[in-house]
Structure 1
């Protein structure tokens, strides 16, 4: 799950002497609004269509623009989580990837990164989702897994986020291998855990829609 494994080779880098009109042509062709810029193998940042349209000079060279997000990159051996974190920090839909000598290797798009992230969360696996709220001091995945397993279920993946309703607490999202949650919920509540949401598979929902819906719920989108 390292960044270099998800480099998208269909996205070409621009050079500083390339013309703005060529950048717009490439963006239109590959359906993106931003492209990476390199010089002598070094990542310099990104140029966006908004930046080009604002200058309204298609004959300008890319080097004449003040490039965006020059620090929006990760090293090749960073985890895909780091790619998503950096993209979120800079509000951009792709992240540069460089080696340890800072030589440009390519970019990872957010679409590819989220797809990889979804795989790590077992989103494609059949099952249901539980969301618990608790203090961080009460969090023990070992203990929660033990309780879940007493109901003949297993935790396929887990995800921690801040509880937007209480800054002192966390939300723990669990993907389980069972679709029936009634007994599992009752057992967790008996042990004092507060369940604030749950998602069960519904009959008649297409597999693709179910995968997307579960992913958005995991990411709180």
Structure 2
């Protein structure tokens, strides 16, 4: 899951001397949220699409709108999640340790990679459970699921404070009522749940999980 295994190279990195019109046309072709800028052969930053419709001339006139964000080629693909969310971007530039632009990864790249794992690919039940922070134990949560003869596909922490932790889990559909009862007996509160046996709902499952990852 290293970034270098997902790099695409078909999106150019512009110079400040390039025209805004050419950058705008490129974005219209690709449908991405940002263009990338290089300076002295090094990655310089990104400019959001909206700004390209406010000016004419060269990209130099938009230099004050440049945002500095990128990801290193040897980072893990999970490291890209916060960047997508923070910069409201569907594309992230990839650079090496010398800040040379190597290419990019898109939100679709990440989604496609995540969707092959059981956490996203298996149909089943999605539960968000709440527990006091002082007694949070992923081992206990997994044991509750598996002791009721259900499969534990994966989980992530969707909220955390000094008082409580919310853990979102994906499990198979077996024995859901007894799982609910067991969580209640161990003082876990189910704050959200979604049960489905339909394969047609699989895409919605995946998208929902991905959105939760983005919002962490």
TM-score by length of 1: 0.83
1:192 aligns to 2:153 (yes or no): no
SS where residue 35 of structure 2 aligns?
strand
Describe how 1:59-70 pairs up with structure 2 within 5 A.
Answer: 60-66=57-63, 68-70=65-67
Judged with a 3 Å threshold, the aligned counterparts in structure 2 of structure 1 residues 202 and 69 are, in CA distance, closer, same or farther, namely farther
**Alignment check: 8 A CA contact 2:130 2:188 kept:** yes
The runs of 5 or more residues in structure 2 that have no matched partner are none
1:83-132, Cα deviation, whole Å (9 max, x unpaired): 11122222322222111122111122223224434445721113211110
How far 1:53 sits from its partner (Å)?
1.9
> 1:4 Cα shift?
2.2
The change in CA–CA distance for 1:102 and 1:118 in structure 2 (over 3 A counts) is: same
Matched, 1:183 2:170: no
Unmatched tracts of structure 1, length 5 or more: none
The aligned counterpart of 1:76 is 73
How far off is 1:133 after superposition? 0.6
Say which of 162, 169, 187 aligns to 2:164: 169
Equivalent residues in 2 for 1:1-221 (5 A)?
1-55=1-55, 57=56, 60-66=57-63, 68-119=65-116, 122-162=119-159, 168-203=163-198, 205-213=200-208, 215-216=210-211
Contact 1:84 1:114 in 2 (8 A): no
Larger helix share, 1 or 2: 2
Partners of 2:183 and 2:64 in 1: CA distance:
51
CA distance 1:54–1:179, change in 2 (3 Å) = farther
CA deviation string 1:194-219 (max 9, x = no partner): 11121111447354345435544666
CA contact (8 A) 1:45 1:68 kept: no
TM-score by length of 2: 0.85
Q: Write out per-residue CA displacement over residues 28-73 of structure 1, whole angstroms, 9 at most, x where no aligned residue.
A: 1112242111234311111233222212x2xx22233215454211
Asked if the contact 1:131/1:172 (under 8 Å) is kept, the reply is yes
Q: Secondary structure at the match of 2:155?
A: strand
Q: Separation in 2 of the partners of 1:28 and 1:177?
A: 42
